Structure 1
Amino acid sequence: MTVLTGFDVESPASATAAGRYRNPILPGCNPDPSICRVGDEYFLVTSTFEYLPGLPIHRSTNLVDWETIGHAIHREGQLDLASIPSSKGLYAPTLRHHDGTFYLVCTVVSPVSDGKPSWSGRAGHFLVTATDPAGPWSDPVWFDGFGGIDPSLTFDGDHVWLCGNRVAQPGRWFGQTDIWLTELDPETFAPIGPVRWIWHGALEGAGWAEGPHIVARPGGGWMLVAAEGGTNRDHAICVAYADRIMGPYVGDEGNPRLTHRFLGDSAPIADIGHADLVEAADGRWWATVLGIQTLDGENGLLGRQTHLVPVTWERGRPLFAPGSGRVDPVMIADGVPDQAPAPEVVHDDFDARALDLAWTSPRVLPTTFADTTVRPGFARLTATTTEPGELGTLAFLGRRLPEHRTRVTTRIELAGAVRGGLLLRTSESAYLEVTVDRRGAGRAVLVDGGVESVVGEASGLPTRGVDVVIDVDGLSATVSIADADLGEVDLRPLATGRPSMFVGSWVGVVAIGDGVVDVDHVTLRTRR
């Protein structure tokens, strides 16, 4: 795979000088970031919902330049997401390191119908471990009986603690969510202590206290960091303090400590929340947070992304983004170098014998249907009969849409009773499909809320060496197959935050029917 950058930069500045970096530090849909440090290296994980391989592990030596080194859920039989719908699945992981081992806790969230789970697979909190963050990772150890989402681990000497959240039963207001904490056996990770309820938010009447992490406070004691207000414009980061890890916790009198709720819809980055903290080797502190890039006040297609802000301490209280209190698209901070230029072109010609780690698929591993060894220089997709709007094994080799202005091109060859091309997907009920079938009939269709509308059609198209293009420009796109311009389409139905859509857009190649689609290349060219 080839990555091209658009400009040259001088040698990075010393990590002790002020460096310039862009937010988000992980472009594309990378929500709920959790970070830890081991020596001079940092490791970060984000939510992946229905996509596999799941829970990508990113590594950095400077906090601003990251590479994906593996996934915590990466092999058959490790975890079953078959038939899980979009925006369910793998929620809000926490990554920690202790005594030579990496620990990752996460939740499989199942769909609910009439107040009861409507999915037959295993759901709930689980733990996986590894000595090498690139893998392999262990099979899950499941925690039963806790409910809720957003588990987190805290190690304190020989003690290990698990916390999470759960909707209050009964609640005194809509969205009241309580944070719980319990001790685990350090060998078996079975609960060994009582469950204590330690927090229900900083503001009475505020909803969705979630994403809790408990960190050791400089100077002694503990700090609970939790999101509040829901993952929308009211999202915020609040903190509380305790002398003992089990509490009682007292909220900071200045809560929330970081929020963009007062900046309005015109802010370029919105919905800031879900923080995790890390102390660098030089003693500086940093926080990773999620946020959404807006387009003229509207949510775009990219989903919730990972951002970085410096943190300082005054009188034992954290200051996020000191001096401004904002997460800006470009930040200058001590302790990091100038960030490397972002790639303008990502080109995968499938010459490698293994798929690049950026490729994922809904509900199944891409290797279920994609093979780069059968025909060198191509990725062969064996089609399935699952349509993009259905649950099942969809032969979709996709990756996160990285920018709001991205031209995506592919060249494919069809064999058999199959149609293939590009798919821009947010969910089963919101996607743009641009495909051609074996008869040379091409079409572009937009699905909004499960309702299909035809963008454009063409006939007499080639089926070998045919180019398919989706050119995204903000909240619209133009689409074409070969020399046939199929028109322009409004992409607002795919935007993040529509009902039950927590996931940003993925883009890639799809194969539907009975046959194969050979993919010569996929190229993403971004414009900023």
Structure 2
Amino acid sequence: MTGFFGDPVLPGFRPDPSVCRVGADYYLVTSSFEWFPGLPVFHSRDLVNWRRIGSALDRASQLDLDGCEPSRGLFAPTIRHHDGVFHLVCTLMDGPGHFVVTATDPAGPWSQPHWLDGEGFDPSLFFDDGPDGGDGRAWFTAARVLDEAAGRTEIWMREYLPRERRLTGPEHALWSGSHPDARWSEAPHLYKIDGTYVLLTAEGGTDVDHSVVAARADRVTGPYEGAPGNPVLPPAKGPVTCTGHADLVQTPYGDWRAVLLGVRPGSALGRETFLSRITWEEGWPVFSPVVHTGLRRPLHDGFATLSADWSTLRTPAAPFWTTGDGLRLRLRPDRLGERTTPSLLARPQEQPDCDVSTELHFAPAAPDEQAGLAVVLDDDTHLLFLRTTEGLSLHHGPEVLAGVAVPPGPVRLGVRIRGFSHTFAHAAPDGAWQDLTTVEATFLTPLFTSIQLGLYATSHGRPSTNQARFAWFDITYPGRQEPPGHQGVSSK
């Protein structure tokens, strides 16, 4: 194994990670909520360097997010491999509920969803067919709410039939927390280690009290006894907080690791995927500290094609973009602030401090036609730096924060992000950057999702045949060399 354990191995909007290993290959999925394609799938050979290989739900026929509220949609998937097939379970909140999709290749295509019975959220699968015994049965676990006001939940289980993709048999209540007043026992995962069944759950909610607890039993149906030192990963303090929602994986060398979510305070990055080393003491998992050492991945996208890292809000009925000559967005009546799918393509912000820029080629033909750069938490909370018939204007919802007249023709749009401080700037293609204004955007504080950086166009409720072309899109970091041919969003 190589790399720095504890780095945000998947920075930015990558919450609720789940991992499995097949031979020398690791596969990981995370939640995606109201963003499409749903449930991104990543591959690694070392658990540190990950490459996105696709999404489990990338077809409109698989996933209908029409009308989905912010921070709803797809919650907490789990990926497992059994007998040559990948099984991925998840919950569509405010929809039919739990489902499973399957594939023989994790890059896809994945099957249509098979809907599963049962209440709750945070589903997981356990295949009891390890070399140390087991009866070859598979089990589905999930969390369900008993008393929402008190945060009381319960982990329940039913048998899962892998070939039929359905649940069968009676329910078993496994666990309701590490102590009588435990809140939000969730994110259950089962493992069989040295003949003992180990149940790992999150507890305390997803804020600063988030933690990981463990329990174990001689039989898969319990009863489960909690670790005497619970939580095995207590609420974190320091440069990474809110740690929890862990999933364990054993390496080919016999040692153990955990992927888990965590938050770097002081920014709008939200919940990211971290890595921890696991040791065992008296049969209980011990987590190494989760720290941060500053992993950064600059980006230059010339849009030869549309990479898998770009997402839309909800499921588009048809593509509203083309690539090859930059990125072209069709102006459509849909707009941010509605529960529709606007002409928005976005990707996660990955670091608290970054410089974002693009070159826009767009001539608005009517006052309602606008296009430009977007900093988006959700439909209701965003900053839009747009070209209009009057020039450039910065919008926070219906409020115009600042504006400036600019001549017709291409214009560069940029934003320097330093924590919650956002400085918007503009430039002619061959000119120096000019600052417009700085916004202290603490209103971008995330709950379940996090900040997306993107490109946006709208005709505000009116039909239009116009298009906006974005020649390129850059994300760079302070102190790093800019991509060749492009000037960073430095102050004037």
TM-score, length-normalised on structure 1? 0.84
Letter in 2 for 1:493: F
Letter in 1 for 2:144: R
Residues 453-472 of structure 1 show CA distances to partners (whole Å, capped at 9, x for unaligned) of: 3321112443x321111111
Q: Which of the numbers 116, 119, 122 marks the counterpart of 1:150?
A: 122
Secondary structure class of the residue paired with 1:368: coil
Match for residue 23 of structure 1? Answer: 7
Match for residue 151 of structure 2? Answer: 175
Q: Which of the numbers 180, 185, 190 marks the counterpart of 1:214?
A: 190
Match for residue 12 of structure 1? Answer: none
> How far, CA to CA, are the matches of 1:527 and 1:181 in structure 2?
49
> How far, CA to CA, are the matches of 1:24 and 1:203 in structure 2?
31
Q: CA deviation at 1:428?
A: 1.7
Q: CA deviation at 1:516?
A: 1.1
1:164 pairs with 2:114: no
Q: CA deviation at 1:260?
A: 2.9
Residues 367-403 of structure 1 show CA distances to partners (whole Å, capped at 9, x for unaligned) of: 621111xxx3211111222221111121111000111
Match for residue 139 of structure 1? Answer: 112
TM-score, length-normalised on structure 2? 0.90
CA contact (8 A) 1:422 1:508 kept: yes
* Runs of 5+ unmatched residues, structure 1: 1-14, 111-121, 332-340
Match for residue 219 of structure 2? Answer: 244
1:527 pairs with 2:478: yes
Match for residue 179 of structure 2? Answer: 203
Q: Which of the numbers 310, 330, 335 marks the counterpart of 1:387?
A: 335
> How far, CA to CA, are the matches of 1:21 and 1:248 in structure 2?
34
Change in 2 beyond 3 A, CA 1:21/1:249: closer
* 1:36-435 alignment runs, 5 A limit: 36-110=20-94, 122-144=95-117, 146-157=118-129, 158-168=136-146, 174-217=150-193, 219-261=194-236, 263=237, 267-295=238-266, 300-321=267-288, 326-330=289-293, 342-343=296-297, 345-351=298-304, 354-365=305-316, 368-372=319-323, 376-415=324-363, 416-417=365-366, 418-435=369-386
Change in 2 beyond 3 A, CA 1:23/1:365: farther
Letter in 1 for 2:334: T
Residues 392-431 of structure 1 show CA distances to partners (whole Å, capped at 9, x for unaligned) of: 1211110001111111101111254421101100012211
Secondary structure class of the residue paired with 1:493: helix
> How far, CA to CA, are the matches of 1:419 and 1:135 in structure 2?
36
CA contact (8 A) 1:49 1:91 kept: yes
CA contact (8 A) 1:151 1:212 kept: yes
Change in 2 beyond 3 A, CA 1:367/1:360: farther
Secondary structure class of the residue paired with 2:270: strand
> How far, CA to CA, are the matches of 2:68 and 2:396 in structure 1?
22
CA contact (8 A) 2:316 2:341 kept: no
CA contact (8 A) 1:53 1:365 kept: no
* Runs of 5+ unmatched residues, structure 2: 130-135, 428-432, 480-492
1:454 pairs with 2:400: yes
CA contact (8 A) 1:360 1:366 kept: no
Change in 2 beyond 3 A, CA 1:277/1:253: same
> How far, CA to CA, are the matches of 2:100 and 2:51 in structure 1?
23
> How far, CA to CA, are the matches of 2:161 and 2:47 in structure 1?
32
Letter in 2 for 1:410: T
CA contact (8 A) 1:455 1:486 kept: no
Residues 148-184 of structure 1 show CA distances to partners (whole Å, capped at 9, x for unaligned) of: 100000011331110001001x57x700000000002
> How far, CA to CA, are the matches of 2:4 and 2:143 in structure 1?
36
CA contact (8 A) 1:27 1:403 kept: yes
> How far, CA to CA, are the matches of 1:370 and 1:423 in structure 2?
16
> How far, CA to CA, are the matches of 1:249 and 1:38 in structure 2?
29
Match for residue 453 of structure 2? Answer: 507
> How far, CA to CA, are the matches of 1:389 and 1:293 in structure 2?
28
Q: CA deviation at 1:76?
A: 2.1
Letter in 2 for 1:143: L
Residues 40-86 of structure 1 show CA distances to partners (whole Å, capped at 9, x for unaligned) of: 01000000101111111100001111100010011121110011121
> How far, CA to CA, are the matches of 2:379 and 2:434 in structure 1?
27
Match for residue 4 of structure 1? Answer: none
- Structure 1 vs Structure 2 CA RMSD: 1.8
> How far, CA to CA, are the matches of 1:27 and 1:362 in structure 2?
20
CA contact (8 A) 1:407 1:469 kept: yes
Secondary structure class of the residue paired with 1:467: strand
> How far, CA to CA, are the matches of 1:364 and 1:189 in structure 2?
25
> How far, CA to CA, are the matches of 1:64 and 1:302 in structure 2?
19
Secondary structure class of the residue paired with 2:443: helix
Q: CA deviation at 1:24?
A: 0.6
> How far, CA to CA, are the matches of 1:404 and 1:453 in structure 2?
25
Of the two structures, which has the highest relative contact order with CA contacts closer than 8 Å and spacing of 6 or more?
1
1:479 pairs with 2:432: no
